[in-house]
A and B are shown apart, each in its own frame.
Chain A
Amino acid sequence: MSAVAQRMLIEIRWHARAGQGAKTAANILAQAALREGKYAQSIPEFGPERRGAPMQAFNRLSDEPFYMHSGITEPHIVIVVDPHLMDTIPVTDGLKPNGWVIINTPLPPEEAQERWELKPYRVATVDASSIARETLRQDIPNVPLLGAFARVTGLLSLETLQTDTAQRLEKRFRDRPQVIEANLKALERGFNEVRWVDAKTVEVVTEEPVRIPTRGWKELVEGGIIPEPATSIVYRTGSWRLERPVFDPQKCVQCLMCWLVCPDSAIVLENGKVVGIDYDHCKGCGLCSLQCPPKAKALNMVLEAELDEK
């Protein structure tokens, strides 16, 4: 099962949203690797983005010392903590053919491989969110994912991960041993419940990944001046959303309160009237739905996950 070759530098990239615990998970992973006598790194990467924004964390594991400290662009293993990121972030960017994609999703691996076009990669899926909800009573999918990681890659043993998870939580939950117990259970269930499939094709996908255009130093304006106003509009923050406001024009009384309070200027007006929502920028905070007069109720929050199912 240990299909990832040993005695080489293994690079792992986590994709999550800020606040989902990917940083902690990457930390536990590195600690556990150190305990097993490996050399390891754990690096979280946050932009200036805030809670809910997509973020990455990196791990390097090796049997020999290594000196690289950069971010990881060509990983062997990708772990996706939030399945919604599959549709918005090029998670397989730079992933080596036959590399692992480990996803938190209830979908069986065959279906995930099909749906997200992951044929060149080995795909493992585990319903880490459900496991977390059942064991920890909260949607913290990072711990079951660690179990799944240990199982499919064989890079770490379940026991070491359990020791490290327990140690990490010991100080904080010393009055509540049941929390530590629940985490160990979550880890074990992740280990046992993960399912996987092999790569279907090993050809490299040549299609250019979607990247936000950046400028080279030659095109920069002296002094770092940004000569045009309001350019951030090309940057889409819609992927941060867990819930979306749905607008019913029939019920709208055009009080414009939603427009007034929207932090992301995502209420679309035409001739001074609300006509809809700019889902490219709406982060789903829900302030608009709360400001909408109770008698009108023209804006209602719906879980993105429910819309996915439909």
Chain B
Amino acid sequence: MKINSKLKLFSLFFALAFFSSCGPKYPQRLMSSYGDSNDSPWTTYKGNELRTSFSSERIRPPLGLVWRFETSAPITASPCIRGGLVYFGNLAKRLYILDAKSGRKITDLGLKGSVSSSCALKGNLLFAATERGGDQLVTINLKNGDTVWRQLARDVSTSPLVFDDKVAVGTGDGYLLVFASSRGELVWRFKTAGGIITSPAKGGEKIFCGSEDRHLYALDAESGELRWEFKAGGSVTAGPTVSDSLVFFGSTDSCLYALTVAGGRQLWRLKTGGEVFSSPAVVGGMLFFGSNDRKLYAVEVESGEVLWSFETGSLIQAPPLVTEDLVLCPSFDFHLYLLDRQTGQLLWKYRTGGMLKASAVIYDRRIYMASSDGHLYCLAPKSSR
């Protein structure tokens, strides 16, 4: 081979190596250095498939800002956190992975559409859904950043529900789609007459999903067969949340409903002063949810009796997060409120730069709060910072 040919070959190789090194690389090695150091990961919307929004972690105010990560667009969904890494998306079609302790960005991935809902984690897989323009449920291998599979799911603003070996998502054109989580083939689907804008929940053998057609549906988790349906006075815009034998959801008729899981019989209905978009949190016989009347309600699960209420400065549409002794309530007035779970007394509050549309997450004694000002906030007790 002549020297100039060798030179050409070398140049070609160099060019290929150079251009392939341009652009963001997935930090495989760095990702693999993170492990399950915490035994209470938050791997899905509201913590579990029942959507109870309960955290067993203990945290006491006052808190202070540890770090704040800026993105370029509002964040409207709570993050998932596991193994020291924080996972969340924003409306600028980006999916971020951060170091939970320092807030340093590990990587970010571009998706085809806005991410307005929480993602879900299972094993090495991350499930994320995108709104109109992206219209996808995409599964990403966290080891190498590759897309494992993607499926058409129109205009999704709901968080994926991972259960057994499946993943379910509600779509803006009214479908509940269930895919095999590993390979993505469609297992079953159910059509409602309106868009699905609340994340499905699973309780027992049933999957619950609400629709803008004013119905809450209970479907067989395996087959998708309709078990029962319940008609509310307005679009189903909050929940469902399952606790023991009851399923709860909120509606634009300003009511929170409690139905039996078995047959969908209404146990009680609580009318508030505004539409209910805030998916309830349930623990220890108490249920907590917010309303467009600016109030957070604490309700007895069995009777629907209001135990206390707390008024914020604006709408409450994010689900509250409950711990053993606290309720964390995000409000449209830019504040995160920490209240005593039993009395509703205000213990502490923190102001962000935008409306809070997502619930807080507690991980490793820190609070992670996404705001529509485009920031993810990490707060920790002042004593521990």
Whether chain B is bound by chain A comes out as: no
Seen from chain A, the residues whose Cβ lies within 8 Å of a Cβ on chain B are none
Seen from chain B, the residues whose Cβ lies within 8 Å of a Cβ on chain A are none
